[in-house]
Structure formats: structure tokens, C-alpha cells
């Protein structure tokens, strides 16, 4: 848990997260991530064998169902034109993006 | 009793019930009250940077509607004519929603968040959108892309964060009450720094529909106000089940203001040693101890409780919150809304350049940390481990609440710090949340209430925590502290 993060790790994670970092940003992030990961390594002091992970807390509340699913019925939604107005580029019906495949 | 807007617009907000009665009895017009608040905002906002946008048209329309009801003598809704501000991570029709980020600059959401809609239906006059740390990530409001908020108590100091604008607006009386959001302490810590009341409702008590997500298993919407009863009134309005949020609780919503009126005598109050250990400022400790004495004097039974894993809460929180954030913030890709980089030829390039140019440093740091904690080979060591510790921390609280009705602690280890003091060191900033994150992880509720000041007059906040869905108990205890004379 206390492996040092390398520049390559930061670059790989940035790529996974679709973040393009400038070289000086990468250096700063490397320093900060290592400091934070050193700190969170404290969790290794706790024996968690046999402890079930807790992803969300609804199950801790008595009488509350964690799976409150509603009926799957068709209901009116936001107007397409209104939604499209918030987009950087559309043709009115679809979102427009730069080309996906290079020639 | 106040009569004209000039008499009402003093340094601290008048109690909500007083203002509502004045409006109902025709002695105060909601339109005049709103106009008075906008005047005050115009004078104070250039220094404090509390509001990012104003929604005058919508506010004055609502105020006129309330005045018409009052003139006819019709019954008025619970927040009739009350000027309220909304943190900018909540969407509201007719106003931009930036979440404090450049990546959402100019975004005009086409709907109201459920909490916003409920305020509107309850007659509140929504003044505008409040500054905050970018995507609610921060403890000082210095991470806003639109500049820091200044603390009205001392403008050289931070208001806390991430709901810094929401806390400062109430402290400077630029709104009677506000909505903030709290993921790891973001309502409670700024309320404490600015000397106002802030509420962490039970997870699921208030619908998150229309809240721009940071960490979905932790995010909560909570009110801030000038006194406990007003905060309780606000919570009763915004709480309740919502079909648009599957995690919202179907539990009935009590009349929280009436709950808060009940005396605290007889309640068992737990004091956890772990929250009074190394790192707690001495002046804060002294103030909180006086608050505990006041609870004894009010007839509470004070006893010690133990929460031995407390010190692991901050690392647990930062792993879980950043992991969830890295997934939630994937939606900001320059396609459907918000900022798109002009400097890209391909789709992939457009994603990464838009995100690099649109996000600030702290948001990138957290996305990277979260992505790392979830990535192949590290998932078990970081994310899974943190979720296991989360259960240990939550169960520790549940055990404590079998013995006591409420737990009181300092809200933050220090009073408000200076602008720039911690902004270069992310880790020291994260430790500002040391007393608030555990309740966030456990999903329990709480209230922070002003509890004296330091020698130079900086507010200190006491955090009152209660078990799931027991907000009423937390309000009762907070009322007793509020009533005490320091």
C-alpha cells in the first residue's frame, strides 16, 4: 500500500481519467499523490479481515429498504430542444463532436 | 418588532417566524424585503464574493405572488417571502449553475433540484446562487474558479468550505437562510467558521436530485441559518422521499421546529475523548467545554464515550470520496453541456483538453487519486480497504448511540484560518475535516451551533451528532447550547 507513485503512474492514471496534464502539473501531482498515499497507508494498521465492505449507508437505517425501485412507466421528460441548448455544438437532434477516427 | 426593511436589514438575520408573521399581517411586503436584500448584496458582495449570480426576476415574481396572497388574507406557506440563497452546486432554472468550476461556465440548467423546488413551493424567495469550492471540493472556499469568499467576521480569513458562500451569506445577512451541501463537512465546518447554524441531515433525508454529484454515497444537502429553529424549519421543508432519488428515505418527516422546542433536559450526551486529543486548538477546547457545562446546566446527563477508530476517518474518507468523484466527474466531457476546448481535432483529444482546461488543480488531484485507488492492482488495497474501515467506523457510532442520545464534539480543530494559510498543502487542508468526516461516512445526522468565540472574536462551533433519522434530538441539544450565555 505504500509503493511510491512514479511519473509513469501519474501519466497512466491521467490517461485513464482523460486528463491532459502539463509537465509541471505532473510534477506537482506526483508530490501530492505520494504525500496523500503515505498518509492513507495508516489504514494498514487496522485488521479488516472478515469485515464486509460498506458501500452505502441505507442498510444501517432500520426499516429502510436499500432498493427503493419505482414502477417502470413512461413519463414525460425534459424537452429535447431545451436540453440541446446547453450543448457546445449540436445539429438540433444530435450532439456534434470532433471526428472519432483519424484518417 | 421590526417594521420596515431598514429596521430588518441589520447585521444578523431576523428569525424566520418573525419575518413571516410580519408579511402575513401586512406590515412588511415580501417585495420590499427582497429589494432590501438585493441592495445589501450590492453593497457587501464586492468585498465578500458570496453570490455568483442573482435571480432577481424569479425572486421578485415570487415575492409579488406572496404579497398578493397576504393581501387577500389567504393562508401563507411556511417560508412565505423568506429570502434564501442556494449553493451553486444545486441546479435552479433561470440561473447559471457553475459548481464553482470553469468547466460549467455559462451552463443554464433546464430544471430545479428537488430541494430548490420544495423551497419555491414553500414560498421562499430565491435570491441567487452562492459561491463554493469547485465541485464542493475544499475546506476554505479557495478552490472556487470565481475567487475566494471572505469571512464576514474577518475578511482576511476564509469562511470555510466548501459551502463558504452559504455560510458567509447568513453571517453577513445577505440571506435569511441558505442551502449548502455536505460531503465530508462542507456545511458544518463553514457554519462553524462564520458563526451560524448548519445542518447535516441523515443520508437520504433530503433528495439529491439536481445536486451536481461529488461523492454519491456521502453527498447531502443541508440548510444554514442564523438560529437553530430556522434551520429546523428549513430542513422540514426540503426533506422527504423523492421518486427521482432512489436513495432518498421514505421515513416520515417530523415537524423539526416543534422538535427543537422540546427541552434537552434528560438527554444523555456522549463526549468522545478522541475528538479532544492532540491537534485541537486550546481556545476551541475551552469554548466547547463551556458548551458542555451549559448542557449539564440544562439538565443533560453528560458521559464519556469511546470512538477508538476516529483517527482513520480522514484517510478512509479521502479514498472513498475521491473514488466516487473520479466516476461522477467523468460526465464533464465537453459534449452535452459546459466548456469545450477549441484546441482539439479528435474526440479523444477534445475530452482530455476540455477537462484539463476546465478543471482546477484540486479537482484534478482528486480525480487522479480516485482513479488510482480504483485502478487494476490497487482496488483491494485502497478502495475496498476503505469501505471495510467505513463499516467499522459506522458500527462504532451505532454502538455509542445505544448508550447516548447525542454526541458532542468541536466542529473543527481551529477557528477560521487566514486566506492562503493552507492552500499550498492539500494534506493539511484535508485535516480541517478531521471532526466532520466520520459522521459523513456513517450516514448519521448532526447540527453545528455557535458555541462562543476565541479571544479575538472568531466563532467556534459545537457539533451535535445523533443517530440516523434523529435530527430532532440534535436540534434539541443545539437549542440548549444556543440558549446558554457565554
Contacts with A, B 221-260, CB within 8 Å: 241, 243, 246-251
Residues in CB range of B395: below 8 A, 6 or more apart: none
Q: Is the dihedral of CA B158, B162, B165, B171 positive or negative?
A: negative
Task: Walk along chain A (103 residues) and give the pLDDT tens digit of each residue.
Answer: 446 899 999 999 999 999 999 899 999 999 999 999 999 999 999 999 999 999 989 878 765 555 567 788 998 889 999 999 999 999 989 999 998 876 5
**Cβ pair B371:A13 closer than 8 A:** yes
Neighbours of B156 (CB within 10 A): 11
Contacts with B, A 20-39, CB within 8 Å: 20-22, 25, 28-29, 32-33, 35-37, 39
pLDDT (average), residues B407-426: 94
Instruction: Give the range among A18-22, B30-34, B76-80, B226-230 with minimum mean pLDDT.
Output: A18-22
Query: CA angle at residue B484 from B480 to B486, to 5 degrees?
Result: 145
Round to whole Å and give the CA distance between B193 and B340. 36
Say if residues B215 and B179 touch (Cβ distance below 8 Å): no
B102 touches chain A (CB under 8 A): no
Say if residues B283 and B460 touch (Cβ distance below 8 Å): yes
Q: What tens digit of pLDDT does each residue of B445-475 get?
A: 999 999 999 999 999 999 999 999 999 999 9
Q: What tens digit of pLDDT does each residue of B429-448 get?
A: 888 899 999 999 999 999 99
Instruction: Give the range among A53-62, B158-167, B201-210 with minimum mean pLDDT.
Output: A53-62
Say if residues B133 and B141 touch (Cβ distance below 8 Å): yes
Name the grid cell of B446.
448532526
Name the grid cell of B257.
421546529
Pick the residue of A54, A64, A82, A85 with the most B CBs within 10 A to test the interface with B by mutation: A54
Neighbours of B448 (CB within 10 A): 36
Instruction: Give the range among B133-147, B172-186, B342-356 with minimum mean pLDDT.
Output: B342-356
**Cβ pair A61:B202 closer than 8 A:** yes
The DSSP-derived string for B318-368 is HHHHHHHHHHHGGG-SSSSSS---SS-SBHHHHHHHHHHHHS-HHHHHHHH
A17 touches chain B (CB under 8 A): yes
Q: What tens digit of pLDDT does each residue of B258-271 get?
A: 999 999 999 999 99
Per CB-CB distance under 8 Å, the chain B contacts of A62 are: 468
Residue written as grid cell 443517530: B467
The DSSP-derived string for B196-208 is -EEEEPPTTSB--
Count, residues in chain A: 103
User: Which residues of B are marked as active site?
Assistant: 87, 162, 186
What's the mean pLDDT when you consider all of chain B? 95
Name the residue facing A43 among B315, B348, B372 (closest C-beta). B315
Of residues B378, B430, B438, the one with CA closest to residue B410:
B438
Contacts with A, B 355-384, CB within 8 Å: 355-356, 359, 361, 364-365, 367-369, 371-372, 375, 381-382, 384
Round to whole Å and give the CA distance between B147 and B172. 18
Q: Which of helix, strand or coil describes residue A39?
A: helix
B263 HSE (CA, 13 A, CB side): 7
Contacts with A, B 444-473, CB within 8 Å: 468-469
Say if residues A29 and B368 touch (Cβ distance below 8 Å): yes
Query: pLDDT value at position A1?
Result: 47
Name the residue facing A57 among B386, B392, B443 (closest C-beta). B443
Q: What tens digit of pLDDT does each residue of B85-144 get?
A: 999 999 999 999 999 999 999 899 999 999 999 999 999 999 999 999 999 999 999 999
Amino acid at each position: 500500500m505504500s509503493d511510491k507513485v512514479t511519473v509513469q503512474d501519474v501519466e497512466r492514471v491521467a490517461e485513464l481519467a482523460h486528463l491532459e496534464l502539463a509537465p509541471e502539473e505532473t510534477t506537482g501531482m506526483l508530490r501530492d499523490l505520494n504525500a496523500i498515499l503515505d498518509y492513507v497507508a495508516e489504514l494498514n494498521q487496522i485488521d479488516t479481515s472478515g469485515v464486509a465492505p460498506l458501500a452505502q449507508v441505507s442498510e444501517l437505517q432500520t426499516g429502510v429498504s436499500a432498493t427503493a425501485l419505482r414502477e417502470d412507466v413512461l413519463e414525460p421528460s425534459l424537452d429535447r430542444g431545451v436540453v440541446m441548448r446547453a450543448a457546445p455544438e449540436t445539429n438540433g437532434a444530435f450532439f456534434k463532436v470532433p471526428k472519432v477516427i483519424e484518417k | 418588532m421590526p417594521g420596515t426593511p431598514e429596521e430588518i436589514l441589520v447585521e444578523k438575520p431576523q428569525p424566520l417566524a418573525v419575518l413571516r408573521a410580519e408579511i402575513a399581517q401586512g406590515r412588511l411586503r415580501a417585495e420590499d424585503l427582497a429589494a432590501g436584500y438585493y441592495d445589501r448584496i450590492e453593497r457587501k458582495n464586492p468585498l465578500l464574493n458570496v453570490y455568483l449570480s442573482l435571480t432577481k426576476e424569479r425572486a421578485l415574481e415570487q415575492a409579488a405572488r406572496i404579497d398578493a396572497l397576504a393581501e387577500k388574507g389567504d393562508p401563507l406557506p411556511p417560508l412565505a417571502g423568506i429570502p434564501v440563497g442556494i449553493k451553486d452546486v444545486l441546479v435552479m432554472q433561470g440561473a447559471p449553475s457553475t459548481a464553482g468550476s470553469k468547466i460549467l461556465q455559462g451552463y443554464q440548467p433546464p430544471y430545479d433540484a428537488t430541494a430548490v423546488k420544495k423551497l419555491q413551493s414553500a414560498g421562499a424567495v430565491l435570491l441567487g446562487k452562492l459561491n463554493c469550492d469547485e465541485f464542493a471540493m475544499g475546506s476554505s472556499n479557495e478552490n472556487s474558479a470565481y475567487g475566494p469568499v471572505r469571512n464576514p467576521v474577518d475578511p482576511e480569513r476564509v469562511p470555510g468550505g466548501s459551502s463558504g458562500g452559504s455560510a458567509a451569506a447568513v453571517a453577513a445577512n445577505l440571506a435569511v437562510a441558505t442551502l449548502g451541501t455536505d460531503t465530508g463537512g462542507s456545511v458544518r465546518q463553514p457554519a462553524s467558521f462564520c458563526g451560524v447554524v448548519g445542518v447535516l441531515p441523515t443520508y437520504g433525508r433530503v433528495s439529491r436530485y439536481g445536486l451536481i454529484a461529488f461523492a454519491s454515497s456521502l453527498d447531502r444537502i443541508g440548510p444554514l441559518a442564523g438560529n437553530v429553529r430556522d434551520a429546523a424549519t428549513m430542513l422540514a421543508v426540503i426533506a422527504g422521499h423523492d421518486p427521482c432519488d432512489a436513495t432518498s428515505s421514505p421515513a416520515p418527516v417530523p415537524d423539526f421546529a416543534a422538535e427543537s422546542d422540546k427541552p434537552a433536559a434528560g438527554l444523555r450526551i456522549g463526549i468522545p475523548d478522541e475528538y479532544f486529543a492532540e491537534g485541537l486548538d486550546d481556545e476551541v477546547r475551552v469554548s466547547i467545554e463551556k458548551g458542555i457545562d451549559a448542557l449539564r446546566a440544562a439538565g443533560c446527563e453528560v458521559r464519556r464515550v469511546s470512538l477508538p477508530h476516529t483517527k482513520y476517518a480522514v484517510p478512509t474518507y479521502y479514498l472513498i470520496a475521491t473514488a466516487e468523484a473520479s466516476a461522477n466527474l467523468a460526465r464533464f466531457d465537453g459534449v452535452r453541456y459546459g466548456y469545450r476546448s477549441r484546441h482539439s481535432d479528435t474526440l479523444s483529444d477534445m475530452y482530455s483538453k476540455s477537462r484539463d482546461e476546465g478543471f482546477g488543480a484540486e479537482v484534478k488531484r482528486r480525480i487522479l487519486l480516485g482513479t488510482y485507488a480504483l485502478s487494476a492492482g490497487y482496488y483491494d488495497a485502497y478502495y475496498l480497504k476503505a469501505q471495510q474501515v467505513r463499516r467499522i467506523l459506522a458500527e462504532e457510532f451505532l454502538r455509542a448511540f445505544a448508550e447516548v442520545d447525542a454526541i458532542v464534539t468541536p466542529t473543527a480543530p481551529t477557528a477560521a484560518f487566514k486566506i492562503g494559510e493552507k492552500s499550498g498543502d492539500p494534506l493539511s487542508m484535508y485535516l480541517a475535516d478531521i471532526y466532520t468526516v466520520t459522521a459523513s461516512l456513517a450516514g448519521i445526522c448532526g447540527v453545528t451551533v455557535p458555541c462562543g468565540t476565541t479571544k479575538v472574536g472568531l466563532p467556534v462551533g459545537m457539533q451535535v451528532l445523533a443517530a440516523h433519522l434523529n435530527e430532532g434530538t440534535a436540534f434539541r441539544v443545539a437549542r440548549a447550547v444556543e440558549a446558554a450565555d457565554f
